[in-house]
Amino acid sequence: MQTRIGALALGRLLGDGWQGAGPTYSALAARLRSLVLDGRLPLEVRVPSERQLATQLGVSRTTVTAAFDALREEGFLRSRQGSGSWTAVPGGVRPTGGAISPPPPDDSLHDVVDLAAATLPADGVAVRAAYEAALLALPRHLPGSGYEAGGLAVTRRAVADDLTRRGLPTTPDQVVVTSGAVSAWALLLRVLTTPGDRVVVEQPTYPNALEAARRAGARLVPVPLGGCDEPLWDVDAWRATLRQAAPRLGYVIPDCQNPTGGVMDDATRRALVAAADAAGTVLVSDETLVDLRSEGPAPRPLAAFSDSVVTVGGLSKSAWAGLRLGWVRAPRDLVDRLVEARLSWDLGTPVVEQLALAHVLADPDRPRHLAGRRALVAARRDALETALRRHLPQWRWRAPQGGLSVWVALADRSSTSMAERAAAHGLRLAAGPRFGVDGALERYLRLPFVVPVERVDDTVRRLAALAAEAPSSRPSRLVV
């Protein structure tokens, strides 16, 4: 299925500064090429006619025709008589990305700095206390079978109470405890979609969520996020995509978006939810990073704006990735379907971990623990941004409002080439295309705040040396 972009929307993407020195058609072709490479203009999107775009931009039709001809010759545009033109990549190559794997065992890392996974070491005090409390509570649960497909009552209550405190009134029977947030998303895909159904996603977004959708047979439809100096979520683009694609599900990360660190404001949340409801699309809001906002109170959960929104969450980022538990918060009828589906899948989650999760969420000291985590992240983030400005001043990024990473534009470097060469510089990287649907985002790299402050400068020096030897991301054959 091809979606369309109108002349007005494409003109807005092009912006006011696309015309530069040299022929106008060359500047227009270069800007359109850049939009495709950066994932701002997804693949297989039908573009306006030459006449429509010329009228919108205030240039001659000959200029647009020449630009389109250049893009066709390079492979960034394809056309068919009577069907119009649509975006493409040269040679039809469409990298699929893939999930980001955990780091290798510690004894194989040596001096390698792992920048592929955005995870922190455990909050040792909170996690230790949680497991100690769980073991004390365990005897009360031993007479039972241990099979709780929806989760232990005490754990569902703890999740419900935490969501209620954040402004989303929730009862325990609206909660299903899962084996992590990705498992929660995979369970929703299993229950709510069939192979071939469309699922709309942000671009860029969390690679493991994309891979789970691919494995479920979903047809992914990306909606690009804004650039460094633009609003992150384009509600008009979401409305158009939801209207044209009629996707069964939508996956968004409105709180500390991964990988950009953006936080969606209330007006955008309200508009996005209204658009999804109008299209009959179930929005799934991933709140895995919500506790790691940079400052201020947590925003209202996306599900507070509509009963149809489903929420997934977990403590892998704010407490410890080794606590392999997450949850789904959904309408009661959907919860019943999810619980039934689990009976033929994994039957439930470990009891001790559920008791530990309940303790973490109900711990009176949790605000203090979270403040400590945020301070740790802030110190590492500030050190990383300072080092990037010092050693790689040509790279650009949006100041993150939270989360565990910064999404960096690499000027004209290829992130895939950098990832392939990273080991020689003692680094492990995840290339930008892993965070997208169609092989775009080559000129972007996610840099997580996982390196201790004292090692950040050396790490960025390695990045700078790697970038200096990596090939350009520019196409090898350009028409000017």
In a domain, 134, yes or no: yes
Identify the band that residue 107 occupies on the pLDDT scale cut at 50, 70 and 90.
Answer: very low
Tokens 């429509």 label which residue?
52
Residue 98: the pLDDT is 59
End position of a domain, from candidates 70, 92, 114: 92
Of 162, 174, 180, nearest to 363 (Cα)? 162
Contact 329, 178 (CB under 8 A): no
CATH number at residue 344: 3.40.640.10
In a domain, 247, yes or no: yes
Cβ neighbors of 185 (< 8 A, separation 6 or more) are 209, 212, 213, 251, 284, 286, 312
424 and 446 part of one domain: yes
In a domain, 331, yes or no: yes
Average pLDDT over residues 27-56: 85
83 and 110 part of one domain: no
428 and 345 part of one domain: no
384 and 289 part of one domain: no
Of 342, 281, 290, 289, nearest to 310 (Cα)? 281
- b/e per residue 102-113 (b: at least 16 CB within 10 A): eeeeeeeeeeeb
Count the Cβ atoms, other than its own, within 10 Å of residue 162.
Answer: 20
151 and 256 part of one domain: yes
In a domain, 98, yes or no: no
Count the Cβ atoms, other than its own, within 10 Å of residue 53.
Answer: 24
Mean pLDDT of the chain: 89
452-465 pLDDT, tens per residue?
999 999 999 999 99
424-471 pLDDT, tens per residue?
999 999 999 999 987 788 889 999 999 999 999 999 999 999 999 887
CATH number at residue 113: 3.90.1150.10
301 and 392 part of one domain: no
Residue 96: the pLDDT is 47
CATH number at residue 69: 1.10.10.10
User: Which DSSP symbol is given to 431?
Assistant: B
- b/e per residue 372-403 (b: at least 16 CB within 10 A): ebbebbeebbebbbebbeebbeebebbebbbb
171-206 pLDDT, tens per residue?
999 999 999 999 999 999 999 999 999 999 999 999
Average pLDDT over residues 390-395: 96
Phi, psi of 406 (to 5 degrees): -120, 140
What is the spatial distance between Cα 53 and Cα 8, in angstroms, rounded to a whole number?
8
134 and 242 part of one domain: yes
175 and 321 part of one domain: yes
229 and 376 part of one domain: no
Give this prediction's pTM: 0.84
296 and 386 part of one domain: no
What are 10's two structure tokens? 């494409």
128 and 87 part of one domain: no
Tokens 């192979």 label which residue?
195
In a domain, 100, yes or no: no
Residue 476: the pLDDT is 41
303-332 pLDDT, tens per residue?
999 999 999 999 999 999 888 899 999 999
323-360 pLDDT, tens per residue?
889 999 999 999 999 999 998 888 889 999 999 999 99
Number of domains in the chain: 3
In a domain, 274, yes or no: yes
Residue 472 has pLDDT above 80, yes or no: no
Higher pLDDT, 459 or 7: 459
In a domain, 222, yes or no: yes
Residue 377 has pLDDT above 50, yes or no: yes
Identify the band that residue 42 occupies on the pLDDT scale cut at 50, 70 and 90.
Answer: confident
Contact 26, 73 (CB under 8 A): no
In a domain, 480, yes or no: no
What is the spatial distance between Cα 9 and Cα 461, in angstroms, rounded to a whole number?
40
Identify the domain containing residue 389 by its residue range. Answer: 106-122+368-469
60 and 183 part of one domain: no
273-288 pLDDT, tens per residue?
999 999 999 999 999 9
